[in-house]
């Protein structure tokens, strides 16, 4: 009899906090939250891919700049560096936001990431083409 | 042609060797094997550069397969000053 009461009590105790948590959670995570998170992760992964492509481009541009010091090679170097900086800052912010839940109040990155990742995908395609023709 | 040369030499991987090939071919025609010996480059590397340069109409070839001789295209000859300009930048500190 006592065992049964304990069982019931523990099951109530186990369920209590969970059901209590799910209430506010449901409010914070309205339907579609998973989709938003997925968008952020896709944006981060593509951001990292962009960074890798830019590092490859940058290494070629740096080699060329070392041998040929000119406006042209300097321009390519600056171009790739700035794009790299942009991708690093964007991806870093997204990652901080996603993994450490750093408050993104006042920043746009708390919103659905579909626009950002679509821009990133376009950049990925563009950079792949540039790297391909640069590598030839 | 000016932009193209800059891109082929300064904007792509292995551009310096491409410039060395152009410089050699300006002096006299070579085949791929001679070029690789002259420039101390891998034969496959030379073939690759030659392919790119030919596709971009910088060099032309005549002859059959292995003995194929390469020389600068008319367009390249006309724009050789542009190349000299780029060449002078190479190795300058």
Interface ipTM: 0.85
Domain count, chain B: 1
B46 vs B38: CA distance, rounded Å: 11
Are A57 and A99 in the same domain?
A: yes
Residues of chain A contacting residue B89, judged by C-beta atoms under 8 Å apart: 68-70
More confident site: A42 or A16: A42
Q: Are residues A74 and A85 in the same domain?
A: yes
pLDDT band at B66 (very low <50, low <70, confident <90, very high): confident
What percent of the residues of chain A are helix, what percent strand, and what percent coil, each to the nearest 5? 85, 0, 15
Query: Quick check: A74 contacting B, CB < 8 Å?
Result: no
Please report the pLDDT score of residue B5 as a whole number: 92
Is B92 domain-assigned?
no
Q: Which chain A residue is nearest to residue B48, measuring alpha carbons? A: A136
A23 shares its domain with A42: no
Q: Give me the domain span that covers residue A118.
A: 33-135
Residue B49 counted as domain residue: yes
Task: Mutate one of A56, A67, A134 to test the B interface: name it (highest B CB count within 10 A).
Answer: A67
Residues A70 and A7 in one domain: no
pLDDT exceeds cutoff 80 at A26: no
Tell whether A86 lies on the interface with B, counting CB pairs under 8 A: no
Residues 6+ apart with CB under 8 A from B55: none
Residue A58, min C-alpha distance to chain B (Å): 11
Residues A111, A53 share a domain? yes
Nearest by CB to A67, from B6, B52, B91: name it. Answer: B91
The DSSP annotation for B61-90 comes to: EESSGGG-EEEE-HHHHHTHHHHHHHHHHB
Tally of domains in chain A = 2
Contacts of B90 (CB under 8 A, 6+ apart): A67, A68, B16, B19
Instruction: Clarify whether residues A20 and A45 are in a common domain.
Output: no
Q: Are residues A8 and A66 in the same domain?
A: no
Q: Which of A130, A136, A2, A108 is nearest to A58 (CA)?
A: A130
**Spatial separation of the C-alpha atoms in residues A124 and A127, rounded to whole Å:** 5
pLDDT at A11: 45
**Is residue B81 included in any domain, yes or no?**
yes
Element (H, E) at B59: strand B59-62
Helix (H) or strand (E) holding B60, with range, is: strand B59-62
- pLDDT band at residue A36 using 50, 70 and 90 as cut-offs: low
């Amino acid at each position: 009899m006592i065992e049964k009461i304990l069982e019931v009590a523990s099951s109530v105790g186990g369920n209590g906090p969970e059901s209590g948590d799910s209430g506010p959670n449901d409010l914070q995570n309205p339907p579609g939250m998973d989709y938003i998170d997925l968008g952020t992760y896709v944006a981060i992964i593509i951001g990292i891919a962009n960074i890798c492509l830019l590092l490859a481009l940058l290494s070629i541009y740096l080699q060329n700049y070392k041998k040929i010091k000119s406006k042209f090679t300097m321009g390519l170097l600056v171009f790739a560096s700035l794009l790299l900086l942009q991708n690093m800052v964007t991806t870093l912010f997204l990652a901080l936001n996603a993994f450490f839940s750093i408050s993104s109040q006042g920043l746009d990155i708390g919103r659905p990431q579909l626009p950002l990742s679509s821009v990133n995908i376009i950049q990925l395609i563009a950079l792949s083409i540039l790297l391909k023709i640069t590598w030839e | 042609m000016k932009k193209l040369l800059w891109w082929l030499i300064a904007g792509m991987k292995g551009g310096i060797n491409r410039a060395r090939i152009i410089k050699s071919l300006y002096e006299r025609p070579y085949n791929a094997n001679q070029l690789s010996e002259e420039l101390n480059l891998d034969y496959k590397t030379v073939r690759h550069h030659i392919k790119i340069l030919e596709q971009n109409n910088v060099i032309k070839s005549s002859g059959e397969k292995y003995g194929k001789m390469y020389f600068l295209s008319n367009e390249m000859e006309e724009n050789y000053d542009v190349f000299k300009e780029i060449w002078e930048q190479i190795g300058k500190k």
